[in-house]
Chains A and B, each alone.
Chain A
Amino acid sequence: MKVWLLYLILMKAMLTCFSGPTSLPVVHHDLVEKYHVLSDKQLTTAVAAGRLTPGPFGLYLVSVGYFIDGTPGAIAGFLALITPAFLIIPMLFYLGHRVNKPRIRNAVRVLTLASAGLLLTTTIPLARVAIQGPLTIGIALGTFVLLVFLKRSTIWAIVGGAAAGMLFYLIA
């Protein structure tokens, strides 16, 4: 896949979302289902690699880009991640407080809800790859509890998942 096309596809994913994780459904649809340049396992690995750092969730695009086209792909992923951020400047310049209207806020809420629904659907094929038995079910559920109810950082979920996997390997 050409690097500029990869950049445009990843940019499209970022421009149609309002947070890092919500770009996942578009990335999955385009790169896994449509162009077949990325596997479900690679996408899941990219998500995990992206969460090893304290940076934004969208950093998984760097990993996605690397899996598809090496370092040039990673640069395309990085640029697709940061480019939309600068859209706030013309918004500050031209719109200011005018955008703070109830109708716009409501549209963003509905979009966010729909994005959450899309994210759940996207997780299904990735879970088919990653969930292989009681241990991995336990790790996924434990991660959910750790993040949602105990409000811990994702780095602990990643480290905990790795530790549980290694411990089970040593015992089994």
Chain B
Amino acid sequence: MATATPSPVPVKLSLFRLFLVYLKVGNLTFGGGDPTMAALQTEMVASRGWISDRAYALVYTLARITPGTNLLAFCAGTAWELLGWPGAIAAVLAMTVPAALLVLWVTAHYATLQVHPFAMAALGGVLAAAVGIMIAAAWQLARPSFSRRSWIQAGIVLAVAVLLSFPGTRIYLTPLRVLGLAALVGLLWEIPA
């Protein structure tokens, strides 16, 4: 439900309890945004009834069009529905702080690893895996737009974005300009679902 103020919470919910739910789901669910949002849906809608299906669906939709990381916007939105701004801040911190500390630790020890040939061999494999991760991310972003009715239009948009962003060519545009152009095209040219 679109609300001018956060939804009334059907059960007594403390900030700490909310923090623990996001901490558990956010830091124990591997696989990215969609599995984590599905796990939160189980926790908050199906199991506890904290949020209505309608409010959940609205936050889910809005999170998709909020700039930045959809998952964090989703967490901020659902927690705001429950406990306002303190809830939103607690949820986002619960989702990110433990993982961010782990990333910081790994990066800080990167220089130490560089002096060990065995560790560097492992790192070489990890960097190659990171390339695969990026190509897979591009595939997963583009795939839902390629349906039987839309593959030509989707293919044109994808190919034009690649061509325009290819460094060293005469038609090169910065990523920001490519995105601006895409937003304009998206408002004027409808791609069938």
Contact = CB atoms under 8 A, between A and B. Distances in A.
Contacts of B81: 92
Interface string A60-104: 101100110001001000100111111111011101111110111
B191 interface: yes
Interface string B108-121: 10100000011001
Interface in A141-172: 141-144, 146-148, 153-155, 157-158, 160-166, 168-169
B77 A89 contact: yes
Interface stretch (B8-16, B42-50, B174-182): B174-182
Contact of B69 (A20, A66, A113, A142): A20
Given A123-B134, A123-B135, A126-B131, A92 B75 contact: no
Give the secondary structure class of B's interface. Answer: helix
Interface string B137-160: 111111001000000001001111
Contacts of A51: 130, 133
A29 B81 CA distance: 37
A100 B106 CA distance: 40
Nearest to B91: A85
A50 B92 contact: no
A134 to B, nearest CB: 11
Nearest to B106: A49
A160 B131 CA distance: 13
A54 B132 contact: no
Contacts of B52: none
Interface size class of A (residues with CB under 8 A): 35 or more
A4 interface: no
B65 interface: yes
A15 B182 contact: no
Given A22-B141, A29-B174, A165-B121, A110 B185 contact: yes
A106 B4 CA distance: 26
Given A52-B103, A144-B139, A139 B128 contact: yes
B85 A118 contact: no
A17 B154 contact: no
B95 to A, nearest CB: 7
Q: Which of B33, B80, B103, B162 counts the most chain A CB atoms within 10 A?
A: B103
Given A78-B100, A88-B77, A143-B136, A157 B106 contact: no
A109 interface: yes
B138 A116 contact: yes
Given A117-B157, A121-B165, A45 B123 contact: yes
Interface of A: 12, 14-22, 24-26, 29, 33, 41, 44-60, 62-63, 66-67, 71, 74, 78, 81-89, 91-93, 95-100, 102-123, 125-127, 129-132, 135-137, 139-144, 146-148, 153-155, 157-158, 160-166, 168-169
Given A54-B99, A117-B142, A131-B131, 5 more contacts: A63-B107, A96-B2, A117-B158, A122-B175, A165-B121
